[in-house]
Structure 1
Amino acid sequence: MLNDLPIRKIIHVDMDAFYASVAQLDNPELRGKAIAVGGGGARGVISAASYEARKFGVKSAMSGRLAIKLCPELIFVKTNFDRYNEISKKVRHIFHDYTDLVEPLSLDEAYLDVTANKKGNPSASLLAQEIRNRISTEVGLTASAGISINKFIAKVASDYNKPNGQKTVNPEEVLQFLEDLDIRKFYGVGKVTAEKMYQKGIFTGQDLKGKSLEYLEDHFGKSGSYYYHVVRGIHNSDVKPNRIRKSLAAERTFSENLSSEIFMLEKLDHITEEVVKRLKKSKVSGKTITLKIKYSDFTLQTRSKTLPYFVSEKSIILETAKDLLFQEKMSNSVRLLGISLSNLNTETSKIKVLEAKEKAVSVQLKFEF
């Protein structure tokens, strides 16, 4: 079945500990030290950790309190998204020197389809090495890469030789690579799903491959079909250069739980200000406004309202958020509030995308990775 599929050359580039590495780049005194981005304060949550901090078990989404217990020498630094965006644009500029088929997943990672590339180089592995070298030289950061026939395998492979390394899974190696793969390494298999698979005797790709489509769909729902196909090397998702933004949001976690709606209104004003700033920067507006509320017991609630027109003005967004706040009585004190806009008026040009895809289809493939 794998032999019947078109062979593409996909690179997944993943910046190494991006937020933490940017902080170390901008402040040489932090290099070689255990640092955490965010996480400061009594209620802080870590956004990223340097590799030096990860050795102690510090990781993203961990509370700052726990992190400092694991690593007493940990240094907390503030997030700087303007700087992350600046660096990310430089990296993407390098990507586009090689192909127009670039699909950013976030500020620090992207897929590149180099089946037909601007350098005319048939070796995706050599291209990945060249791209990583340029990121190091021109940006001052390191990146890791995975290279293979589809996005799924390329993403899994990019994690193999981190940091500052790469791994190529050639077409003839794909099936064995997937069979040997620990189920926890499968992109899309989270902690809960992995535990469920363990309970059913699925520990490796080979174990997964031994289960029928019907079995996987019965036990894992719609995801069962995905697992059935990816373990056989089948993942036909194209690299989508112009991923359309579906929502834009801002939120705040408070140092102390809020029980008074008066105090919440003050916080909503600041959050709305940030949302409007991001809307203007992205040059978008939206129709659906959603208020996110996380209570002190960590239960989460969302309340939404869709307007008949697109908005980006602070006054309208804030008033709608207030209406949503007073829509029903609070069930508990609040630790987090957030506002998001969705149903955006995003428009993208697809001319370059279509041209690049046509070129990729028409090119005479050389099976060289």
Structure 2
Amino acid sequence: MNEEKSQNNRERIILHLDLDAFFASCEEVRKQELRGRPVVIGADPKDGKGRGVVSTCNYEARKFGIHSAMPISWAFRACPHAIFLPVDMRYYMETSVRIMQQAREKFPECKFELASIDEVTFDVSTFGFDGAEKLAREFKKELKKKEGLTCSIGLGPNALVAKIASDFQKPDGLTPVKPHEVKMFLYPLHVRKLPGVGPKMEEALKALGVETIGQIQNYDKAKLAKVFGKNGEYLHLEAQGKSDREIGGEWKAKSISRQATFEEDTSSQERILAALDALVEEVLEDARESKTRFKTIIVKVRYENFETHTRQKKFRSPVLEKDAKIWARELMKGFLKIGRGVRLIGFGVGGLEEEKNK
């Protein structure tokens, strides 16, 4: 089946919606005096001696090099005059639920995939390209009016292109990419815009004389496969803007998870475990707010070469919060003994069930 056609031979159109700097933007909505100032959400910096990490930050803070998963002490040194605030997951979740419901009402009866608290993907093929773009513009205006927030939206023939397009004009962007425009849209972009391309692969590609997606498009596929194995084949396909991944999901979550990508690969156990602790707390807060218990704990690690592994532990009865924190560290430590550079970590819980009223 042609990847740009749906089952009834209709042109496939995917919309990716990403709420801009969501946690920090939520704080700016309820505290107007924060607008225009660098805002960092995460652990208490304790005057540069804090041990936690940055959860997220606004665009003003990013000008100082601050980013998610950065040790909070580093963020404080980079911008000591920033406003440091704790994560208020209840507030963010309540806001997210409202917005996602508004999005579902705007794109009714469309298959969707809730990627995270601030990202969602819809199959909007039923509206046609022009119709989907019109609805996207309307939604952006309504979001700003109702919630005081902005989002960036990408439209494309598949989820890969839509995701890259949503990042193209951040913040508050709308980037439609029609099927015949895909290769030219991707052509001048840096290789890091492709999912899975991080610092190590970027350097390896640079050694081959490749720095843009267009250069990957024109590179010999067999040579890429020789250097990167299966990843080389995927890379060549993605550079053409090809992806046949279907969109679909359930509104009721089967799991709750968070992940964090380090700006630079790290083998520091202290830094990795501090980031893990922050992810665990965010997931536990989500579980509390949704009155959900869980029987499975999952950790994920992605190494510098993009090799990805997960480990999980299942329990017969719902897990206590203190045990979840202990087991998360135990499972993660098994990945860290070999001292390899780590690019990304994740934590999640599964086997969900509603909390019984006492």
Matching of residue 30 in structure 1 with residue 39 in structure 2: no
Deviation at residue 215 of structure 1 after TM alignment: 2.4
Identify the residue that residue 285 of structure 1 maps to in structure 2. Answer: 294
> 2: CA distance between counterparts of 1:320 and 1:59?
27
Match of 2:66 in 1: 58
Select 1:135's aligned residue among 126, 140, 143. Answer: 143
Shift of 1:211: 2.7
2:126 matched residue in structure 1 = 116
For residue 248 of structure 2, what is the aligned residue in structure 1?
A: 240
Q: Please name the residue that 1:165 is paired with.
A: 173
Structure 1 residues 36-92: Cα deviation after superposition (integer angstroms, max 9, x where no partner): 001423213111111111122222222222223322321101101111111111111
Q: Distance in 2 between matches of 1:208 and 1:19?
A: 35
Deviation of residue 238 (structure 1)? 1.3
Q: Are 1:188 and 2:192 matched, yes or no?
A: no
Instruction: Tell me if the contact between 1:45 and 1:61 (Cα under 8 Å) persists in the aligned partners.
Output: yes
The yes-or-no answer on 1:344 pairing with 2:354 is: no
Change (3 A) 1:198 1:282: farther
Whether the 8 Å contact between 1:174 and 1:233 is mirrored in structure 2 is yes
Shift of 1:303: 8.1
- 5+ residue gaps, structure 1: 251-256, 259-267, 293-301, 332-337, 348-369
When residues 303 and 155 of structure 1 are mapped into structure 2, their CA distance, relative to the original with a 3 A threshold, is closer
Q: Which residue of 2 aligns with 1:40?
A: 44
1:153 alignment partner, SS class: helix
Q: Which residue of 2 aligns with 1:149?
A: 157
Q: Is 1:210 matched up with 2:214?
A: no
Q: Distance in 1 between matches of 2:23 and 2:43?
A: 13
CA displacement 1:268-295 (0-9 Å, x = unmatched)? 9xx89x8498278364532x44699xxx
The change in CA–CA distance for 1:146 and 1:340 in structure 2 (over 3 A counts) is: closer
In structure 1, what residue type is equivalent to 2:27?
A
| Corresponding residue pairs, total | 307
* Alignment partners' CA distance in 1, 2:113 and 2:129: 20
Contact 2:111–2:123 (CA under 8 A) maintained in structure 1:
yes
Deviations along 1:293-324, one digit per CA (max 9) or x if unpaired, are xxxxxxxxx986444x4x215399579959x7
**TM-score in terms of structure 2 length:** 0.72
| Map of 2:116 onto structure 1 | 106
Give the Å deviation of 1:152.
0.8
Measure the CA separation in 2 of the matches of 1:76 and 1:17. Answer: 15
The worse-fitting range, judged by mean Cα deviation, of 151-160 and 1-10 is 1-10
Contact 1:90/1:139 (CA < 8 Å) preserved in 2?
A: no
User: Cα gap change, 1:39/1:175 in structure 2, threshold over 3 Å: closer, same or farther?
Assistant: same
Identity of aligned residues (%): 30
Counterpart residue identity of residue 13, structure 2: K
CA contact (8 A) 1:289 1:317 kept: no
Q: Verify the 8 A CA contact 1:19 1:84 in the aligned structure 2.
A: yes
In structure 1, the partner of 2:134 is 126
Number of the residue aligned with 2:94: 86
**Distance in 1 between residues matched to 2:321 and 2:94, nearest whole Å:** 29
Q: Which of residues 183, 189, 200 is equivalent to 1:175?
A: 183
- Residue 153 of structure 1 and its aligned partner are, at CA, apart by 0.9
Residues 122/27 of structure 1: CA separation in 2 closer, same or farther (3 Å cut): same
Distance in 2 of aligned mates of 1:208 and 1:142:
33
Instruction: Summarize deviations over 1:5-27 as a string: whole Å, max 9, x none.
Output: 55311111111111110111111
Contact residue 157 and residue 169 of structure 1 kept, 8 A: yes
C-alpha separation in 1, matches of 2:170 and 2:299: 38
Determine the structure 2 residue equivalent to 1:312: 318
Residues 95 and 102, structure 1, Cα contact 8 Å, conserved in 2: no
RMSD between superposed Cα atoms in Å: 4.0
Change (3 A) 1:209 1:149: same
Q: 1:234 offset after TM fit, Å?
A: 1.3
The one-letter amino acid paired with 1:15 is L
**Would you say 1:225 and 2:238 are equivalent positions?**
no
Normalization by structure 1: what TM-score? 0.70
Distance 1:46 1:320 in 2: 21
User: What letter matches 1:123 in structure 2?
Assistant: G
Structure 1 residues 303 and 207: CA distance shift in structure 2, 3 A: closer
Contact 1:305 1:320 survives alignment (8 Å): no
**Kept after mapping to 2: 8 A contact 1:290/1:321:** no
